[in-house]
Structure formats: structure tokens, C-alpha cells
Amino acid sequence: MKKGKLIVFSAPSGSGKTTIVKYLLEQDELNLEFSISATSRDQRGEEVEGKDYYFLSAKEFKSKIKEDEFLEWEEVYRDNFYGTLKTEVERIWKKGKHVIFDIDVSGGLRIKGKFPDETLAVFVKPPSIDELKIRLKKRKTESSDKINMRIAKASAELATAPLFDVVIENDVLDKALQEAHTRVDEFVNPKKKET
């Protein structure tokens, strides 16, 4: 099996990383496929097994941790796990594609640590903490307490930005999309860069 590349996008919540990842997935020349995470949390609303997440019980998740079946994983709250199954990366590589992740900061850095040469780790940075707060409030999906928790977490996450290969500031979305496209294209198609 030919190994593809791993493209990790990490950012504080509300920075726009999901929007950027969705855009990149639509660019056929990049040959990307989205890595579906596993989680032990309950399925929500319209979520589909094997499309949005692989839903596992906490017991199944812990068993897979013991069997070393995860590339990276994290216990976000007690018995609430998220992670990337090794089989997911193998599934995408078998198709001859590169894997793109929309993943939290610590998970992104773990993947970079395990596959330093195959991974491009991109940190998407909001223009400011104030702007981040405005974006999170505009979503109207979370309480003020939850937003304040995300803002507190964002400050810690922003401190990790220098550990990533690339930092993209998402102030003007079109500009951020273009920069993300250029960086990923140069990484997955290095011959293009030389010509």
C-alpha cells in the first residue's frame, strides 16, 4: 500500500477550520479524503454512522485503545472519547488519496509527532479573541457559559500555534482559503513547486 500524505487542520472553535477543510475537499486536484473520527458520545440529530463519526460505546473505545488501534485519541470528558482509528487512514490510503483531518490541537500535534515527514500541520488562527467571541455568539448554538469555556480554551490553544508547520490567519475568508489551497497543493504535489 502506497502511503499518502496527512494534512491536519487544527484551531480554536470558531476559527473557520471546518469551512476551510470543506473547501479543500472540493478541490479535485488535491486528491483528499476526510478522516472520519470515532467517538463514544451519543449520536446527535441527523448524524450518520460512518459518515459523520464512527460511534462506539465507551467500553468499545477503551478496548480499541488497549489494542493500539488508534493513531491518536483523547478523553474530552469522563468516558467521552474522540480519536482517529488507524484503519481509517489505511482505508483512505488504499484508495490512493491523501488524508485530511479537522481535529483538535493536541490530536493534530500527536499525528505530526508520529508521522513528521508525511504530515502537514496547519493551525487556523482567528484575527483576535474578541472576533472569535463574536463568531461563536453568531452561531447561536451554545450558552454564554459554553462560549466562555471555548474562549478560555482558545487562549491555551493559540499558544500552541508555533508548533505547527503553517499558521493561517482567517481574517478574510477568501484569502485564508487561497493560502490553505496553496500550502496543501505544494505539500501533496511537491513537483509542481519545483517547476
Domain that holds residue 74: 6-186
161 or 76, which is more confident: 161
Contact, 24 vs 86, CB < 8 A? no
Residue 72 located in a structural domain: yes
Contact, 34 vs 21, CB < 8 A? yes
Residue 70 located in a structural domain: yes
pLDDT of 3 reads: 87
Structural domains in the chain (count): 1
Residue 192 located in a structural domain: no
Dist. CA 34–CA 27, nearest whole Å: 12
Instruction: Using the Cα atoms of residue 66, residue 112, residue 89 and residue 37 in order, give the sign of their dihedral.
Output: positive
Which residues, listed in sequence order, are joined to residue 39 by a DSSP beta bridge?
55, 82
Residue 191 located in a structural domain: no
If 0-12 CB within 10 Å is exposed, 13-18 middle and 19+ buried, where does residue 112 land? buried
Residue 24 located in a structural domain: yes
13 or 112, which is more confident: 112
DSSP conformational letter for 35: P
Dist. CA 61–CA 58, nearest whole Å: 5
HSE, side-chain direction, 13 A CA sphere, residue 137? 8
What is the pairing mode between strands 80-85 and 38-39? antiparallel
- Give the model confidence (pLDDT) of 55-69 as tens digits: 999 999 999 999 999
Dist. CA 131–CA 151, nearest whole Å: 11
Which residues, listed in sequence order, are joined to residue 80 by a DSSP beta bridge?
77
- Give the model confidence (pLDDT) of 16-56 as tens digits: 999 999 999 999 999 999 999 999 999 988 999 999 999 99
Question: Is residue 194 pLDDT above 70, yes or no?
Answer: no
The model scores a pTM over 0.95: no
Residue 194 located in a structural domain: no
Question: Is residue 12 pLDDT above 70, yes or no?
Answer: yes
pLDDT of 193 reads: 61
Residue 195 located in a structural domain: no
Backbone angles phi, psi at 64, to 5 degrees: -70, -30
- 24 three-state secondary structure: helix
What is the pairing mode between strands 166-169 and 119-125? parallel
CATH of the domain at 85: 3.40.50.300
Residue 179 located in a structural domain: yes
- Give the model confidence (pLDDT) of 96-153 as tens digits: 999 999 998 999 999 999 999 999 999 999 988 888 888 888 877 778 888 888 888 8
